Chains A and B, each alone.
Chain A
Amino acid sequence: MIEKVKQTTSEKLLLAVFIILGIVAFYIFLILPQKCLFIKSYDPQEIRFDNPENIAVLNVNCGNVIIKLYPDISPKSVERFRMLINSGKYNNIAFHRVVKNVIVQAGDLEFGRKDNLNYLYIGTGKSGFGTIKSELNDEIEFRAGTVGMARTNKLNTEDSQFFILLEDAPLFKGEYTPIGQVVYGLEVLDTIADDYKREYVLRPDFINSFKLLID
């Protein structure tokens, strides 16, 4: 006959500790590194848009960011943006300037390319197409998801770099050229690699592809 041995309290406690440790380890090593796990990726083909010709799809590691462009508000800047998207210039370009929950910036075609990343000059590169004039607007609010043309400290120096706001920035109104608004997938941009000590990111994430919904 097998005698049933009762667990002591300390054995029960030890078992509980092991279970908790197991859960914590599982979360730390398996769940946390999966930064895309809880991010919804939107398929633009499954969404109905009023003006599909003004929709651009930015694809990054965790999914799609769907942007509605503002050709009526900033025609010249949107024209430049479309041209760079259509020619595939933004593919494999780094998000070189990222401030968590504040802003992501990309589009340095000269020093931000995946195959030619230059940490020393990133953010200062040119597209080769020249600069364009700022198209400032005192009506358009800069909210989370607003896409704007980046520039130097001076106006009329916009080229290829753009930023997407992750928080409202009311002071940007009338200072930067608005070129569009993220309509789906803003949360995807929260996963873009940042560095809590720097604006300029070491080992940045890249744009996988940037396309217009209708070429």
Chain B
Amino acid sequence: MKIFVAVLLLISSFSTLYANTIFYLTKIPNLEIYDLNSSNNIKYLTAEKAFRVGFRENNVQCDKTDKNNIKKKFDLIKKNFDIYDKNFLKKINLKYVVLCEDLKVAEIKTAGVPNHKVKTLIVDINFDKRYFERSIHHEIFHMIDDSYKELFSYEKWEKFNTPKFKYAECSTCTNKLDLSLNNESRGFLTEYSMSTASEDMAEIFSFLMTDSENLDKILLKDTILNKKTLFLKSAILKIDNNFKFN
């Protein structure tokens, strides 16, 4: 036992200390406060240096936030988060939004990384401009899904699809990564929707929040998508009866 303790102390002596009070809450090092004045209580944080975090291999990495870059983009980011009210955000465990650059998970570029356990969503402010706003809502859906797994049954969801269709094992286990609107949808809004049930839900939710007019037109022609959307809306209203879809 003593040897084990000695080894543990030796290993820990090589780790660096980056514990400011923000780290206590988010478990992400090198963050600083950017804005605390939002009416829905979201605390916006930026990275004063690059950071690496992750459960096993520190596989989530993001670069320092350039001050001019965030200044240009912050209003747009805030506008999108402001859609959600304080009570709803509390229910889905979202309080801290980390705005950093060139976010990657296991070296794969990604728009956001949600972690409802520490009430944190990491957002890449350099994500593709065409899908940037929609990606914010996509990631918020993952926070919702992670907090209310029981409401978003993947088993039930898969039954909406044609019997032959199968999702991939994981969102990065496939080449279906295109986020542009698929005009011949047949149950899916984008190619990325076909990756997993969770991503499929997140894509529909993101259109519901950013492009509902266009979505309504698509739903008139696509019965599968229509069923999926009704399922999604009903589940979200179970979380918060006052939730407003755009």
Contact = CB atoms under 8 A, between A and B. Distances in A.
Interface residues of A, number: 21
Interface stretch (A6-14, A18-26, A162-170): A162-170
A48 interface: no
Contacts of A175: 25
A25 B214 CA distance: 77
A202 B15 CA distance: 14
Contact of A198 (B12, B20, B24, B36): B12
B220 interface: no
Contacts of B36: 170-171
A102 interface: yes
B147 to A, nearest CB: 14
A165 B21 contact: yes
A209 B17 CA distance: 29
Interface centre among B14, B20, B21, B118 (most CB of A within 10 A): B21
A5 B68 CA distance: 69
Interface string B169-205: 0000000000000000000000000000000000000
A174 B95 CA distance: 11
B21 A102 contact: yes
B19 interface: yes
Contacts of A179: none
A60 interface: no
Contacts of B13: 197-198
Interface of B: 5, 8-9, 12-17, 19-22, 24-25, 33, 36, 41, 43, 96, 117-118
Smallest CB-CB A-B distances: 10 pairs = A169-B21, A99-B19, A199-B19, A197-B17, A120-B5, A171-B25, A198-B12, A102-B20, A171-B43, A198-B17
